[in-house]
C-alpha cells in the first residue's frame, strides 16, 4: 500500500526540515526574508546568501504540507476500518497549518523568543505524530503482531514496559529539545562557556534565563542519556524482537552522539555544523523512541 510509504517519507521530510530550520538560525538567516509568506514580495526570490537557506526552508515546509496531505487522502479510504488513523491525519494537518502560521509570526514579529521556541516544539510534535502513523502502518508492525512470526514476539510483560519506557524517553527528549530551543532563541548557547562546569562552578548563580536554561538543558541531557542507555541495556536482557532491539541500539548510539555534539557546539562556539546536527540528532532520537513505543504498543494490544 502507498500510505505507509507516504508516512515514512513524511518522517524523513520532517527531519530534513528540522535540520534546515536549525541551519537557518545558526547562519543568522531567520530574517533574510523580511516578509511572509512571500520573500521580498515574491515566491521566487534570488536564492543567494541567507535568502537561500530561509526560502529553501519555506519551500521544503510547503512540500511537507503537500506530502502529508497526500498521505491523508490515501488513508481516507480506510477510515471505516481504522477510524483513528484518519483522525490522526486530520490532527497532523491542523498541526502543520498552525505551524505555518507560527512560522510566519516569527518573521513578522522579528523572532520573539517564545514564538520561535513554540515553532520548534510544534515541529517536534508533528514529527512524533508522523512517526506513530508510519510505525502503526508499517510492515514491521504487521510482522510483530503475528503470533507465528519467528524472532518477532515480545516476552511476557516486555511490550508493556517498553511502550512506557520508550514513551517516557521520547517525552524527555521532546522536553529537552524545547528547552534547547529556548536556550538558542534567548542567546544562551554560550551562557556556560566551560565544560563540564558552568562559569567555573557546579551550580552557578541562576541570575538570568540564559544561564538557567543552559544549565538545566545540560542536566536533563544527562538524565535522558542515562534513561535511553538503561532501556537499551534492559532490552538486551529480555525477550524483544530483533528489529526492535536494532532500533534501540540505534537510539543508544544516537544519544551518545547527541551528548558529544552538544559538547562540540560549546567548544566550537556554536559553529553551524555541530549546532545543526545537534538539532537533527534530537529529532532523530525522539522519532526512533516514538517508533519503538508504537511497535511495542501494537504488540501489547495484539496480546490483549
- Which of 137, 164, 192 is at the close of a domain? 137
pLDDT tens per residue across span 15-70: 999 999 999 999 999 999 999 999 999 999 999 999 999 999 999 999 999 999 98
Which residues, other chains included, contact 279 with Cβ-Cβ below 8 Å and sequence gap of 6+? 18, 19, 21, 22, 177, 180
Q: Are residues 127 and 242 in the same domain?
A: no
Q: What average pLDDT is seen over the chain?
A: 90
Question: Taking residues 166-193, what's their average pLDDT?
Answer: 96
Reported confidence tier of residue 3, pLDDT bands at 50, 70, 90: confident
User: CA-to-CA distance for 94 and 139, rounded, in angstroms?
Assistant: 27
Query: Does residue 144 lie within any of the structural domains?
Result: no
Domain boundary among 86, 113, 137: 137
| Structural domain of 53 | 1-137
Q: Cα-atom radius of gyration of the chain, to the nearest Å? A: 20
pLDDT for 303 equals 41
Question: Mind listing the pLDDT tens digit for each residue in 220-276?
Answer: 999 999 999 999 999 988 888 888 999 999 999 999 999 999 999 999 999 999 999
How much of the chain exceeds pLDDT 90, in percent?
Answer: 77
> Cα separation of 59 and 109, whole Å?
21
Considering the domain architecture, whether residues 74 and 155 belong to the same structural domain is answered as no
- Same-domain pairing of 200 and 129: no
Q: Read off the pLDDT band of 304 (50, 70, 90).
A: very low
* List of residues 6+ apart from 277 with CB closer than 8 A: 19, 261
Bigger pLDDT: 40 or 299? 40
Same domain, 114 and 160: no
Please check whether residue 29 is in contact with residue 54, taking contact to mean a CB–CB distance below 8 angstroms: yes
Task: State residue 106's pLDDT score.
Answer: 94
Q: What is the rounded CA–CA span in Å between residue 226 and residue 224?
A: 5
159 pLDDT above the threshold of 90: no
pLDDT > 70 in the chain, percent:
91
- DSSP-assigned states of every residue in 33-91: S-SSSSBTTBSS----HHHHHHHHHHHHHHHHHHHHHHHHHHHGGGTTT-HHHHHHHHH
Query: Given this model, what pLDDT does residue 186 score?
Result: 94
Q: Which residues contact 267 (CB under 8 A, 6 or more apart)?
A: 195
Q: Please give the Cα distance from 57 to 47 (Å, whole number).
A: 12
Alpha carbon distance 235, 229 (integer Å):
10
92 and 130 Cβ atoms separated by less than 8 Å: yes
**Do 277 and 184 belong together in one domain?**
yes
Question: Of 75, 102, 137, at which residue does a domain stop?
Answer: 137
pLDDT attached to residue 301: 57
In a domain, 142, yes or no: no
Does some domain include residue 52? Answer: yes
Same domain, 115 and 261: no
pLDDT for 79 equals 60
CB atoms under 10 Å from CB of 49, counted, come to 11
Amino acid at each position: 500500500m502507498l500510505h505507509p510509504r507516504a508516512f515514512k517519507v513524511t518522517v524523513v521530510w520532517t527531519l530534513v526540515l528540522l535540520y534546515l530550520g536549525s541551519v537557518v538560525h545558526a547562519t543568522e538567516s531567520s530574517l533574510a526574508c523580511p516578509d511572509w509568506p512571500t520573500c521580498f514580495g515574491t515566491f521566487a526570490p534570488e536564492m543567494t546568501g541567507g535568502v537561500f537557506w530561509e526560502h529553501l526552508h519555506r519551500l521544503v515546509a510547503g512540500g511537507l504540507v503537500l506530502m502529508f496531505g497526500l498521505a491523508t487522502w490515501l488513508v481516507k479510504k480506510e477510515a471505516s476500518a481504522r477510524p483513528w488513523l484518519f483522525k490522526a491525519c486530520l490532527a497532523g494537518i491542523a498541526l502543520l497549518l498552525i505551524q505555518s502560521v507560527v512560522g510566519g509570526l516569527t518573521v513578522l514579529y522579528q523572532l520573539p523568543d517564545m514564538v520561535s521556541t513554540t515553532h520548534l516544539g510544534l515541529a517536534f510534535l508533528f514529527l512524533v505524530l508522523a512517526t506513530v502513523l508510519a510505525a502503526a502502518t508499517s510492515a514491521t508492525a504487521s510482522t510483530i503482531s503475528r503470533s507465528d512470526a519467528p524472532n518477532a514476539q515480545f516476552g511476557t510483560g516486555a511490550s508493556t514496559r517498553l511502550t512506557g519506557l520508550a514513551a517516557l524517553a521520547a517525552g524527555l527528549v521532546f522536553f529537552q529539545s524545547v528547552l534547547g530551543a529556548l536556550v538558542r532563541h534567548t542567546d544562551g548557547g554560550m551562557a556556560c562557556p566551560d565544560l563540564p562546569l558552568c562559569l567555573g562552578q557546579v551550580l552557578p548563580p541562576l541570575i538570568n534565563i540564559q544561564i538557567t536554561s543552559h544549565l538545566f538543558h545540560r542536566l536533563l541531557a544527562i538524565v535522558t542519556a542515562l534513561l535511553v542507555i538503561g532501556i537499551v541495556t534492559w532490552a538486551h536482557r529480555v525477550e524483544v524482537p530483533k528489529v526492535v532491539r536494532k532500533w534501540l541500539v540505534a537510539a543508544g548510539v544516537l544519544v551518545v552522539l547527541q551528548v558529544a555534539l552538544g559538547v562540540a557546539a560549546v567548544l566550537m562556539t556554536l559553529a553551524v555544523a555541530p549546532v545543526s546536527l545537534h538539532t537533527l540528532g534530537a529529532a532523530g532520537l525522539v522519532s526512533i523512541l516514538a517508533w519503538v513505543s508504537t511497535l511495542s504498543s501494537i504488540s501489547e494490544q495484539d496480546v490483549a
